[in-house]
Structure 1
Amino acid sequence: MRPREEYLDWLRATSLIVVVLWHWAFTILRWTPDGPVATSPLGFLSGLWILTWLLQVLPVFFYVGGCVHSHSWERDKEHGAWPYVWRHVRHLVFPSLALLCTWLVLGSLVGAAFGLPWMRGVVLLVISPLWFVGVYVVLVALVPLSSWLHRRFDLLVPVWLGGVAMLVDVLRFRYDVPWIGWVNMLVVWWLAHQAGFFHERLTRRTGWALLSGGLFCLAGLVSSGLYPGSMVGVPGDRLSNVGPPTFVLVALLAFQVGFAEVTRPLVKRLLRHGPARRIVTVVNAVALPLFLFHSTGMALARTFGYLVLAGQISDDRAPDLVWWVQRPLAVLGSLVFTLPVIALVRTRRRRS
């Protein structure tokens, strides 16, 4: 059996921490009659978008998934495609359905009982992480096909997926076919996942090539004026690079995979020490419930704060010094309300 690679665990853990901390610390809620609308400091502070080139880590998430699934499929493929797919998606599907059903029922009951039309917006905000799970499940289902394509066509697969992503953007923006942009919801993330199949072939030299090429492409695409600079959605921007994904995320994938490869020796030295290794182990042990339920914990923490403070229900304002000083409290409050939810879910899973 292939030994577990700590470096991949590190990438998964750090990516998860970045996503969760970003949501907990930097979500600004603008209250409307339809419910809360999320924004971030990026909508108020010009130039801050450059940080998203490292902090928008979804390409790394899917890349690590491809690394892990390429290994597991080679180990388990003799058992057949369907058993493999079911074994790897059921632990994603069941907790996701539990989250979805719980909030749909809770939102309907609370909204009807108290006449709160904005509960629908609250529910949509809390269950928003499920889009990632949906795409991830599709990619797991495609692992047998992805593995065959990798063996049969090798580098042509990411090249063609990247080409399709570019053609989708051409049809979307040049020929005004907006709906086709959603094709990239599969194509771009499939490319990121497929890139993980090349994990063992990457070297420090190819890492520098990917980092440099991705960075040059990012700079060129953003400077062209066709795409926004931010790798996350920003209210007021003409379009978003993630909803649906644009070709810019292909360049971001190359840049981030290269960055990960270049920094691998440093990370491996860091992982020799106990504290770093223990943090990675703990985060990976609760990775799925933390990702699924961190928005639930944030919603509970915000509700508690609104009720206790009995005041402003909106924090729709430009981030000032007080707002920045309060960011550790925003993270701590969300963590305090998320941990019991994770503990409850893990307890129920052990009993079932």
Structure 2
Amino acid sequence: MEHRLEEPQLPAPRGPLSSAVEEYLRGTGPLPAPGQVAAAPVYGDDLQLALYLCYELHYRGFAGVAPDLEWDPELLRTRAALEARFLTALRADVPRHDGVDDALAPILVEPVDGTGVSHFLQDEGELWHVREYAAQRSLYHLKEADPHAWVLPRLQGRAKAAMAAVEFDEYGGGRPDRVHARLFADLMADLGLDTTYGRYLDAACAELLVTVNLMSLFGLHRSLRGALVGHFAAVEITSSPGSRRLAEAMRRTGAGPAAEHFYDEHVEADAVHEQVVRHDVIGGLLEDEPHLAPDIAFGVDATVFVEDRLGDRLLCDWRAGRSSLRTPLPQEFTHAS
């Protein structure tokens, strides 16, 4: 099953920033004042949703929003102010490593006693946890690989060729039925979730919005191309072992064959991608632009930071027996046949 190709609906605002951005997108009000941008909690729902709305214009847009607003000068100025706060906070808050190898070293070794989300889902997660996890992650996985494609014209030679090869795999190797975004839509259908692009934006927590905004921030700025490559490396390195645990969680909870297949596919594919990204994408980029090494390390470290924040939020809610979603999913559902 493929997710339906339609523009998503604008979500409910989460505060004055996102409300003002939505009103501007609808043509019914002004953008937020600089003081509002400066006052909002940087990792909070309101600022992160406002930034997500700006970024989404570069992907699918929203129903009823003019496509030309993607390059509206006033909206871009507001986006830049939101981004400046986000990036400044990340540079201040992310624990940093001195070099690329130092940044990669901690994620190249699996902990003996892992305690993250994939460990929880594998060992003790219930079907409702799996469904919530899929709903949250759908904000990225239904556009999987798209944020990373922005970096291709900013690379050259070995780095470009290797990055294009990995992206080709992410897009199904020329086969539409194997595009990873479609495979995730099939997973969602197995779990009785709505496969419409952007359907769970209203429900997703702020910590999830941060993870998606991070890759858009890095992808849309040529000056952050090194950070985007670092982000991609962190994702690919941690994906294979994490996907192995998630595949087991899908089997144990009876999520369905498409749900199992999505993560089984990533176990094998991303084990190969990890090597390509480390040796050819990062290696090639450092050969061409060695001064980007600190940016690559920052991209790795920032990815670990935001993913850890998301994991802490999910596990805190689940261990307390409550939903991680702003709007809990219906408990009754029908598996896709």
Q: TM-score, normalised by structure 1?
A: 0.26
Q: TM-score, normalised by structure 2?
A: 0.27
Larger-gyration structure (1/2): 1
